Every structure is written in C-alpha cells, then in structure tokens.
Structure 1
Amino acid sequence: MLNAGSTAWVLTSAALVMLMTPGLAFFYGGMVRSRSVLNMLMMNFMCLAIVSVLWCLYGFSLAFGNDLGGGLLGGFEYVGLGGLPTDPIGTDPDKIPILAFAMFQLMFAIITPALISGAVPERTKFWSWGIFVVLWSTIVYFPVAHWVFSFDGSTAETGGWIANSLGALDFAGGTAVHINAGAAGLALALVLGKRRGWPRDPGRPHSLPFVLLGASLLWFGWYGFNAGSSLGANQNAAIAFTTTTLATAAAVIGWLVVEQIRDGKPTTLGAASGAVAGLVAITPACAYVNPVGALAIGVIAGAVCALCVSIKFRLGFDDSLDVVAVHLVGGLIGTLLIGVFGTTSLNEASADGLLYGGGLGQLGIQAVAAFAVLAYSFVVTAIIALVIKVTIGFRVSAEDESTGIDESQHAESGYDYSGLSGGGNHSLLGAGATGSAQAATPREGAPR
C-alpha cells in the first residue's frame, strides 16, 4: 500500500537535490574570474536540461532496468519511462510510486556531471561540454548507478554487482556520485591541459559571497540527498539527517584549523570548501555510523581535503576548483571509513567496522567498490575527452581564454561595467565583483 508520508518526503527530497545544482553553480561560479562566470553557471545549468532528457529516453532504464548480465548494466524495458510497475516499490511500510523514485534518482544523475565542471572552467567550449555530458552520462554514470544503486528486487529482478554481489555499503552515492565525478574531473583536467598562465597566475575568485551562498544551498539540499536516500519518512532518514549535520560542521572546523596552522588565517573560502568536503565524506556513511562516527569522519575529511588542495601544484595538473581534493578524496574517505566507523547499533543494514569488532572484511569490500568506480570513471572519461578533443575540439582559442569566454561562448557578460569610471559611481554588480576580486587573493596550496 502506498505510504503518503514517505512519498511526500521522497518528492520533497528530489526537489532539494535539484536545488543543489544551482547551488553548485553559484559555488563554482564565485570561484572563477568575473569574465567567465556565465560559462561556469551555464555548464552546470545545462546538466539539468540534458540529463533530464536522457533519463527519460533511456537513462533510468539503463540504471534501474533488469540486469543484462554480470551486474553491469540495466536493460531497456523502461525506455521513455514506459513499462514501469504500477505497484508501489520499497519496503513496508514505506512504499512509494516508482516515478517518485525515478525523479529522485534523476537529480543524482544531474548533479554528478555538473560536479566535474569544476575541474575545467575558463577554457571549455560550451557545446563540446554538452556533448561530453551526453556521452559521459550514458557510458559512465548510468552503468555505475546500476552497479551501486540497483538492488535486487527493487525496480527490477536483478541489479548491480556492487550493491548485490559485492555487498559494499554506500547509502547515498559516495562512489556513484563523488568518486565517480572526482576521477572524471582528474581525467578531464589532464586531457584539456592547464589554463594559460597557470600556476603562475592561478586567478582569483571573483565573488566570495557567491561561494558561501552556493555552499549554503548545497548544505541545505544535501539533506534531501542523504536523508532522502532512506526512501521513506523513517528512522534511517533521521539518522542520515543527524550525521549529515554533524559531519559537515566538524569538517568546517577541521579545514579552518588546517588553514590557521598552514596559512595563519581562516578564510571564507576555506569554510565553504570544508562544508562541502564534509558533505561529500558523510554521503556514503550517513545511515551507517553513529553521531560520534559522523564527527570523526567530518573532521578527518575537512583536514585531509584541505591538505590535498596542494596536490595539483605538486603534480602539475590544473584541477581549477579542486574537484579532486574535495570530491575524489572526500568520497574515498567516507566510503573507506565505513569499514572503520560503521556500526549496526542504529541500523541493522550497516556493518560493524574495525572500531566495533568487525575486522577488516568490510573495509576491504569498501575499497574494492571505491577503486573499481575510480578506475572505470578515469579511463573511460579520458577516452571520451580525447575523442571530443581530436574531433570537434574541447578548448576555446587562446585569445578567447585570455579575454574571457563569456563573450565568445554566450555573447554576454556577467556584470555591467558601463557605469564605471575613474571616480564615478559603480553599478551594484560591478562594484561587488571588483571588491570581491580584490579581497580574494589565492595562495599556493589553497583552493581558489
């Protein structure tokens, strides 16, 4: 029997997760230079349009249709969102319509390629990015979502290998979303290459208020991301809501402490980045750890991710907005630490980790899932990016990159500077952008 309360919660959660993509656009958009902000916003916003169409045509079917064999890919019985079961899905008493589940999962499919865009801003052709989103969603995300999210007997008789055969725990997408996007971001940054002048001129965030607004919207929407993955108004939703709050708060503190020790001052950019790192890390573990475990995961993620932002300078790859340091590293931390802090005390579906007498077994299972997704995403993303690069081209011209790609790609600019003069009145947006740019000077080893 359909549960009205659980259906309402899942639909509300889907709307919260949808809001995360515009939130991500502001988070990323504030970190780029003012001459490229529109392109950054559009790279994220277009994921809403492109992936929604793909999800209806075949994406949901490939992710949640009956497995074609080996737990690798779903079938084609739900093409066009047709042929869906009429009976509610889920476990008693939290039965929901399959369309509610489909729309909830769509929002995960949308934000995952949007996360990748932070690795390659200020140099990417808009329509080449659109083609990349189509290919990457089809060849990488939909299969990986099947591996991780498709459980036997849920939307189909047989599901994916990570969820069922391997038995890895990932409550809300640490592997399918964050490790997947982080590995793809690394591959894409390597294929496209560095921005002109980087690292000598790493650029400055043009609007720190945008960054903090975006991080706050992400934190708000993440309650739908994590607590909504309970697929019901139930105990697991309450656990996930609690651990999401605590881990994120602890991660902010962990990141800022590292900044204070390393750089002498805590920054607004660091606080926003720390919050996102904590959200990423708690995602796979949110219903499998207790509140103290959530605090531990959060502070570890905040500190480690803050330290990892210097990796790109040392290794020489231009991951512009630290997708690798935050999403890949944060996703690995959260996925692996289930094997340390996991406990069945609150959720019998969890597994006891090392601290609760569970041994190394679950930690090994978590590692297999994490690195399988990492390897598949990195290799296939690199191939897709290389094909686009040698066919239609992936980067804008050197001239467009130097002058800013908003004008060349969209024939627009994010701010109207027509009112600016030597001592004259500033337009509201122009003054805000200029002030933010002057205040936000990047440091070696710190995120932009």
Structure 2
Amino acid sequence: MQVAVSRTRLGRAALAACGVSVLLAPSAVAAASEPGTPGGVRGEVVTVTTVKVGAPGNPAVAVVPFTDAIYRTCADAPSDTSGCLMVGGVRDPYEIGEFEVTVGQWVAFLNTADRRGRDPHGLYDRSESSSAWPKYGPIEFSAAAADGHHYTVAYPEWADKPYGFADFLKAARFVNSLHNGRLVSRQSGVRDGHDYVSYQVELSPQTERGMYDLARPDATRAQDSGFVVPSQDEWIKAAYYDPSGGGTYSYWKYPTNPGVFGDGDATAPAPTVLDPATGDVTNAATQPLASYHASNLPAPSWCPGQVQPVTCATVNPFGLDPIAYRMLYQGSLSTVGQARTTSPWGTLDQGGNAVEWTDTITPPPAGGDSARVWRREHGGVSNAPAYQMWPSAVGLQPQDNPFFSHTYPWLGFRVGVIGDLGPCAP
C-alpha cells in the first residue's frame, strides 16, 4: 500500500512539474476505485479534448464593447465612443477545450472534490436540483449517499449539456483539480484540418492551489504550463481569429462564420431547434448554426422527458408566477457540439449555448463594487440575441456572484492549456 501511494504521489509530482494540461469534451466519465488519493480512493477520471491554437503573435483587433464593428486599432474607432479594447492577440501557442465543461464532468469533479458531501467551498446550490428547478436543474444531491457518490446527474439527458451554474471560483477549482491530477493517457490527431488532443485525467481532490492560489481573491496563473481558465484574448482568438485571413482584419463576426460587420444580425448563424424532451439539436443540417435566441423566433428550449411540460413551465425556486417565469427564463442549453459549426480553429459552441468565464481581471463598470474582483466573460447565450456572439460582447461580472450562481443557469466555462506538454506525454 505504501509503495502504491508513493508511486501515485511521484506521478502527480511529475505531472505538476511538467504542467500537465487537459480540456473537456462530451465524454464518458468513469470512477476509479484503486488506492491513491486521501481516504484510499482515487478521484474520478474524465476524458477531455482540446484543440491546438497556433499562429503565435497574431495581431489583436480593436472593439468597442457591444458595438457592431471592429477596428485595426483604438485610434481608428469613432472619437465619440469609449471603452475601446484591443483583444485577440496571443503571443504563444496554446490549447482550448473543443467543448464547454459538461454536467457529467462537473458531477465527476463534485464527487472527487467533495467526497463527503459537506461542500465547504460552495460548489453546489439547491437551485441546481431537478426538484427545485425542473427545467434547469441538472444535478441531484443526496446527503445519505456513500462518500464519493453524493452527486448525480439529474437525468441522463443532462450529462452532455454544458454545466451552467459556474462562477469563476468554481471554474478555477475545477482547473486546479485537473492540474493536480494524474494523467492517464494522451492522444493527438487531426480531424477536418484541425489539431486535437484527447486526455484522460484522474481528478485530484486538491482544489485550492494549483494553477490558481485561491487564498488570493485576485488569483492569477501561478504556473507557466498546465490547465487554465482561458484568458479573454485566448478565448477570442480561438473563436474569431482566422489564420487564413478571412473575415475583417482576419477576425470573424461570429464564432461560426465570418459574417459582415455593420449588418446587425443579417449574417448571423441560424438558431438551433431542440428536441423538446432531450435537448438534442434536430436541425444540424442547417449551417452555420448556434444555440441563441434569434429575433422573432422562439428560444431553443427543452424539458426533460421525465418531467411534465407544465411543471417545467411553472415550477421554479424563486416563486415567480408563470407569466413572469416564462418571460425571464426562455432558452435552454443544448447538447454540446451538436450544432456542428466550428470556429476557425475547430472549437464548438463558442457562439451560443452558455456564456463562458475567462480568467482576465478587469476594472468594475461605472458604479460597480470596486471591492470585488471582476472578470471578463464571453460567448453568447441560448436566451440572448445574436449581438452576444460578436467579438465586442466583452461582458464582465464579479467572480463570486452568489446571485448569479443561484438564479442564472446559462453561465459555464471551458478549460485551456498553456505551455509545452510534449515531454510529459506517455
């Protein structure tokens, strides 16, 4: 037993030293039961997939938040605008998740990081349960379950949907669990002209330090190599920058197609249509495609087939009356990847589905709480119009907003990888 533990620790030390990095895909999640982690049980294993993003040192582009334009530099932006940002330029190659982190992967993390079901870090909220929120609750919690099994996917249909109740600190803890974990396997390949890496990683219960030292509220990357929450520039480059020079100044208007800046939503992708009982995309033959709420059309929506539609339409954890509830909560998250339309680098769902965290710290907006740490978000959302998918849709939120974690079921993340991981590959 001591030899097995020692080998595991040595393996983890080597993994951390090499900056082993991982990214998420809609994949099977398997539990392991061999000795290794504290308590004599290993963490769960997740299979994750990244895409490689090259063209190091690419030019940035200027955006004015939430406007339908891009510029070569902020000096080219109209003089009567404010808040111009240079975005999308990244000095080094990196990897980013092909997909958003899924509910199945998050449940595997919960059962590793909170084996005893005590939730000391606020990783779970009751509004995430299907009983409290039939339409949006993807995860069940059972206090009576055995250690390592307190959390389960509410219905099978949720397993490959994006996890949508994230704040930045949750995302950072997931990344730390990957960073401190054990690499089981690594495979590289090419698909449709894009470079992919598939990893199997045994998650670690160690979540407070790794890539991010969460003892610091303004935690930034502590290592030069390993798992990360992508920065705003990394996220934008993967979504919009076309190394072949397409689009405007080599940037697309949408993560799904070049579009035309200045035409509103005229060249936006088509919206997904979802199976009403499973959330699977039924119109994938229509391209380009994204899960968002197009003007004058219903938002993509589904209700688990095990639940009566009237229950999904009325029951909510806030006591909202049915009319107000239908107005505020329309769009649903769809199965990851099924829209099929890729970004210039091969990612999926960067346009539409869940809004996603980045690790970029930013000043608060005018009137915002300056005592809190604010970070950038990006990505469009299934209950919002096409403009949320523009490069200029550089949103921001406090990194630990408990109100959003309780009431907003469309906020997720994907993982990034920095550094040269080649020497560590098995």
TM-score (norm 2): 0.25
TM-score (norm 1): 0.24
Structure with the bigger percentage of helix: 1
Structure with the bigger percentage of strand: 2
